[in-house]
C-alpha cells in the first residue's frame, strides 16, 4: 500500500490524497472501529468505489487540539443520535456518499465515530472550500451538522474514545510519509529533466556544480525517506508500529519533502513558478502534506512525549 501511495504521489499528490482519505481514513475507520455487520455493509461498495467516503475530524475552531477540545456533539435519544457542530477542510466531502463524523458524546464526554450518509441525512450540509493553493484536485468541504439524526446502527460499534480515532491516524500518518516521499520523487524527476535540457552560458545547467549540489541533496533526501518508510512498513507488518513511529515518519518525510520541492523549484528558475513546468504543483502540494493529519509540530510533540514521558500538549 505504501509503494502504491508513493507512486500515486509521484505523479499527482492530489490523487494520492483522494485515495488516502477514502481508503485510509474513511474505510480504515470502519475497518478498525466498525462491527462485523457494518464492515459487511460498507466496505465492499467502498472497495469498488461505488461509494466514496470522507473523514470529519477537524473543526473551524479546533484543529491540533481535537483530542481534548472537540466541539461537535452527539446526544443519544433512544435508537438515534443527534449530531450538532461543524467540520472544516474535509477532503472528498462536497461530493462523497458517506462521512465518518467524530463527535463528543454529551453523556460520557468521550469521542465517538458515526457513519453519516451525506445525501439522505436531513440537517447535513457541505460547502466546498474554494481558492486553495495546494491539492487543487481534492475537493475539501466545510460540513455543518444541524440536529442531524443518525441511527445507533451507524455508530462505529467498537470505538469508545479518541484513542480509537488515533488508531486510524497512526496508519494514515505513516501513509502520508509515503506520499511525501513520492511527491519528492516527482519534483526531482521534473527538475532533473529541466536541468538537462535548459541551456545557460551555452551549456546544460545540469553541468554546473551548484546545480549538481542541489540534485545530490534532493536524491539524498529521497533515499533517506524511502529507507525510513520501508523500515516503518516492516514494523507495521510485525505489528510493532507505534504512534511515535508514525509521527517520526510523517514529520521527517514531510519536512524533507518541503526542502526537496523547494530545490526543484529553484532549479527551474522563473519557470519553476509556473504550474506548466511540473514542479510548481509539487511545491504547493508539499505544504498540505506538512500540515494535514497533524502538523509537523504536533508530530514532534508526540515524539517528544515518547522520549521524555512528559506531554507538552495535554
Ligand X SMILES: Cc1cc2nc3c(=O)[nH]c(=O)nc-3n(C[C@H](O)[C@H](O)[C@H](O)COP(=O)(O)OP(=O)(O)OC[C@H]3O[C@@H](n4cnc5c(N)ncnc54)[C@H](O)[C@@H]3O)c2cc1C
Task: Rule CB under 6 A: choose which of 15, 52, 64, 271 binds ligand X.
Answer: 64
From candidates 6, 8, 9, 21, binder to ligand X by CB under 6 A: 21
- Cβ nearer to ligand X, comparing 158 with 295: 295
When asked if residue 56 is in the footprint of ligand X (CB under 6 A), the reply is: yes
* Whole-angstrom distance, CA of residue 169 vs CA of residue 174: 8
DSSP-based three-state secondary structure for 180 = helix
Question: Which of residues 33 and 294 has its CB atom nearest to ligand X in the complex?
Answer: 294
Query: How far apart are CB 87 and ligand X at their closest, in Å?
Result: 6
**How far is C-alpha 8 from the geometric centre of its chain's CA atoms?**
14
CB of 135: closest distance to ligand X in angstroms?
5
> What Rg, from alpha-carbon coordinates, does the chain have?
21
| Residue from 23, 30, 46, 298 binding ligand X (CB under 6 A) | 298
Among 179, 278, 293, 303, binds ligand X (CB under 6 A): 293
At its nearest, how many Å lie between ligand X and the CB of residue 105?
18
Long-range contacts of 295-304, Cβ-Cβ distance < 8 Å, separation of 24 or more: 295/63, 295/64, 296/251, 296/254, 296/255, 297/64, 298/64, 298/247, 299/173, 299/247, 299/248, 299/250, 299/251, 300/247, 300/251, 302/243, 302/244, 302/247, 303/244, 303/247, 303/248, 303/251
Contact between 295 and ligand X per CB under 6 A: yes
Burial of 295 (0-12, 13-18, 19+ CB in 10 A): middle
Place of cell 472497495: 47
Where in 74-103 is the site for ligand X (CB under 6 A)?
89-91
What are the grid coordinates assigned to 253, written together? Answer: 518525510
* Nearest approach, Cβ of residue 22 and ligand X (Å): 10
Longest dimension (CA), the chain: 78
Which of 91, 278 has the CB closer to ligand X?
91
Number of H helices, E strands in the chain: 10, 9
Residue of 140, 180, 184, 247 interacting with ligand X (CB under 6 A): 140
Piece of the chain touching ligand X by CB under 6 A; list 30-38, 56-64, 205-213, 258-266: 56-64
| C-beta closer to ligand X: residue 166 or 233 | 166
| Residue from 8, 23, 57, 126 binding ligand X (CB under 6 A) | 57
State yes or no: residue 55 binds ligand X (CB under 6 A).
Answer: yes
> Per CB under 6 A, does 183 bind ligand X?
no
Element (H, E) at 27: helix 27-33
Binding site for ligand X (CB under 6 A): 21, 54-58, 63-64, 89-91, 134-135, 140, 288, 291-295, 297-298, 301, 313
Amino acid at each position: 500500500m505504501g509503494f502504491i501511495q508513493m507512486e500515486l504521489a509521484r505523479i499527482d499528490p492530489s490523487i494520492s490524497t483522494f485515495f488516502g482519505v477514502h481508503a485510509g481514513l474513511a474505510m480504515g475507520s470502519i475497518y478498525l472501529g466498525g462491527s462485523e455487520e457494518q464492515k459487511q455493509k460498507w466496505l465492499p461498495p467502498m472497495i469498488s468505489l461505488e461509494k466514496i467516503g470522507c473523514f470529519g475530524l477537524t473543526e473551524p475552531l479546533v484543529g491540533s487540539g481535537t483530542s481534548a477540545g472537540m466541539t461537535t456533539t452527539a446526544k443519544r435519544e433512544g435508537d438515534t443520535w443527534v449530531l450538532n457542530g461543524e467540520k472544516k477542510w474535509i477532503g472528498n466531502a462536497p461530493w462523497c456518499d458517506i462521512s465518518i463524523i467524530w463527535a463528543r458524546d454529551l453523556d460520557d464526554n468521550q469521542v465517538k465515530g458515526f457513519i453519516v450518509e451525506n445525501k439522505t441525512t436531513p440537517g447535513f450540509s457541505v460547502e466546498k472550500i474554494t481558492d486553495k493553493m495546494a491539492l487543487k484536485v481534492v475537493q475539501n468541504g466545510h460540513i455543518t451538522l444541524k440536529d442531524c439524526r443518525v441511527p445507533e446502527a451507524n455508530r462505529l460499534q467498537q470505538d469508545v474514545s479518541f484513542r480509537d480515532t488515533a488508531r486510524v491516524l497512526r496508519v494514515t500518518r505513516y501513509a502520508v510519509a509515503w506520499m511525501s516521499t513520492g511527491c519528492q520523487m516527482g519534483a526531482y524527476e521534473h527538475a532533473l529533466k529541466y536541468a538537462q535540457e535548459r541551456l545557460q552560458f551555452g551549456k546544460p545547467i545540469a553541468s554546473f556544480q551548484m546545480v549538481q549540489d542541489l540534485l545530490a541533496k534532493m536524491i539524498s533526501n529521497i533515499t533517506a525517506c524511502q529507507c525510513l518508510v520501508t523500515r516503518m512498513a516492516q514494523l507495521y507488518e510485525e505489528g510493532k508500529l507505534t504512534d511515535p513511529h508514525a509521527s517520526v515518519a510523517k514529520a521527517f518525510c514531510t519536512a524533507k519533502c518541503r526542502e526537496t520541492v523547494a530545490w526543484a523549484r529553484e532549479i527551474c528558475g522563473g519557470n519553476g513558478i509556473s504550474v506548466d513546468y511540473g514542479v510548481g504543483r509539487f511545491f504547493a502540494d508539499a505544504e498540505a502534506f506538512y500540515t494535514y493529519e497533524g502538523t509537523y509540530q504536533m508530530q514532534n510533540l508526540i515524539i517528544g512525549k515518547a522520549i521524555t514521558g512528559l506531554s507538552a500538549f495535554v
